[in-house]
Amino acid sequence: LNLENKPKQFFAYKGIIVHSISRHELEIINPGVLIVDEDGTIVETGKDVDFHSYPNVIIHDFKQKIICPGFIDLHLHLPQYEFVGLGSEQLLSWLKKYTFPAEKRYEDEAHARAAIEVFFNELLHYGTTTAAVYPTIHRKSTDLAFGYAAHSGIRLIMGKVNMDQNAPDFLLQDIEQNVSETLDLIDKWHGFNDGQLQYAVTPRFAITCSSDLLTELSAIAKDKNTYIQSHLAENRDELKSVKTIHKNHDSYTHIYADHGLLSSKTLMAHCIYLSDEEIDLIKETNTTPVHCPTSNRFLQSGIFPLREFESKGINFGIGTDVAGGYEISLLHEMKEVIEMGKMYNILNYTNPQPTITMEEVMYYGTLGGAIAIGQEDRLGNFQKGKEADFIVLDDDTINPYHEFDNYQTVSDRLYRLIYRSSKESIQSVFIKGKRIR
């Protein structure tokens, strides 16, 4: 067998191709074909593909199923999936009652192993191919999570959680331990798997981190060129508490800015209660806010002023924020982005904003997310040269009258998938051309 002369292997995926070109433009190719090479790179997307160019091609025909880019979830917490949907408290008491005790259990390696496996399998089941995740403070459980993520094939931005104050003793580490364990994990995992795994330095939020710890973490992120992720201005009681803990800063956003933690590689969850000056700071530093509407309602936090960020040209991503959010599904989160926009209009009826559309939420969950993490050269849509992360959507079971034909445009079907999807709505998941499920 002469491997040198073996013609390059291609894969053709036929179906209805849907992907974002820009915030308001969703390209629909019906019927369409996605051609992927043996390295998992997209070589062509179109309607009329000349198969003579691909003598060695394996064809998968998904017929009338919709093929779209894999979803990008830019904020969720691994250890919280165990108690997803529980609690009626607001943020600070909810953390005490549910989150901190659950995170303590990750000291136990056997528990961590089992829970990690469930978490990543569920994420992939729901079509999330890239995720920004918070594990716990523990070095070992974070290491196990990176290991399982590498094995599963998912793309991941993650880093051990850092806290040195204002949390139960069992979740606090001194600065030295936070720093040394963070550095260990960066050395082992940052850029692993051809860049599919990325480290994010993860100060939980300003309340649980001293100024000295924030300074150290900022230096590490710069030195090692990692992502940074944290929480900002989520809840009114949190704002009050932050003010008493970090006194010498102009605002909550300035706490992070003054420590050098805002950058084009920074993801800040929530960003609900920001002054105009703070929003300008987000814009100047190219920081990415992450909108988590399900969580913001579940924990009675507030409403992200989406149109305001958009009008200032700030790129943001969306996140399920499990378990502040009670679904791990990005299709569900897209629905909540639309619904929360409607809630904003109900409360601001004298100055309503344009209703958020299906095209926009598809963008936020795919190409917009890729832009937010600076990976739009690899991810987000089906442009030639990008890596083939895609999912096949099955809407047969969610249309109660599927034998009738009145609401079957691709746009109708996408709205229905966003509003009525279940786990079964994701038929297949591919990452870098490799079938994951």
Interface residue list for Zn ion (CB under 5 A) = 269, 321
> In this complex, which beta carbon is closest to Zn ion, that of residue 340 or of residue 429?
340
Phi, psi torsion values for 62, nearest 5 degrees:
-90, 10
Name the residue among 152, 108, 102 with its Cα closest to residue 130: 152
Closest CB to Zn ion among 15 and 317? 317
* Closer to Zn ion by Cβ: residue 136 or 381: 136
- Closest Cα partner for 112 from 59, 160, 172? 160
Closest approach of Zn ion to the CB of residue 206, in Å: 13
The distance of closest approach from Cβ of residue 430 to Zn ion in the complex, given in angstroms and rounded to an integer, is 28
Give least dist CB 269 to Zn ion, A. 5
Helix 211-224 crosses helix 175-189 at what angle (to 10 degrees)? 20
Q: How far is the CB of 277 from Zn ion (least distance, A)?
A: 24
SS3 132: strand
User: Which of 399, 319, 417 minimizes the C-alpha distance to 16?
Assistant: 417
For the bound state, the minimum distance from the C-beta of residue 234 to Zn ion, rounded and expressed in Å, comes to: 8
Phi-psi region of 166 (alpha: psi -120 to 50; beta: other; left: phi over 0): left
Q: Which amino acid is at 416?
A: R
Residue 151 beta carbon to Zn ion: minimum distance, rounded to whole angstroms: 25
Where do the DSSP E strands lie in 180-319? 197-203, 227-232, 266-270, 288-291, 317-318
- Pairing of β 426-431 and β 434-435: antiparallel
**Minimum CB distance to Zn ion smaller for 321 or for 395:** 321
Q: Is the CB of 324 or the CB of 368 nearer to Zn ion? A: 324
Closer to Zn ion by Cβ: residue 33 or 269: 269
Kindly state the smallest distance separating residue 33's Cβ from Zn ion, in Å.
39
Q: What does the alpha-carbon distance between residue 316 and residue 330 come to, in Å, rounded to a whole number? A: 15
Closest CB to Zn ion among 138 and 231? 231
Q: What is the smallest separation between the CB atom of 292 and Zn ion, expressed in angstroms? A: 7
> Smaller CB distance to Zn ion: residue 103 or 321?
321
Q: Under 8 Å CB-to-CB from 393, ≥6 apart: which residues?
A: 65, 66, 67, 68, 127, 417, 425, 426, 427
Task: Report the residue number, 231 or 386, with the smaller CB distance to Zn ion.
Answer: 231
Kindly state the smallest distance separating residue 321's Cβ from Zn ion, in Å: 5
| Residue 116 structure tokens | 């990690």
Cβ atoms of residues 290 and 75 within 8 Å? yes
Q: Where are the alpha helices (DSSP H) in 66-210?
A: 91-94, 100-104, 109-125, 139-152, 175-189
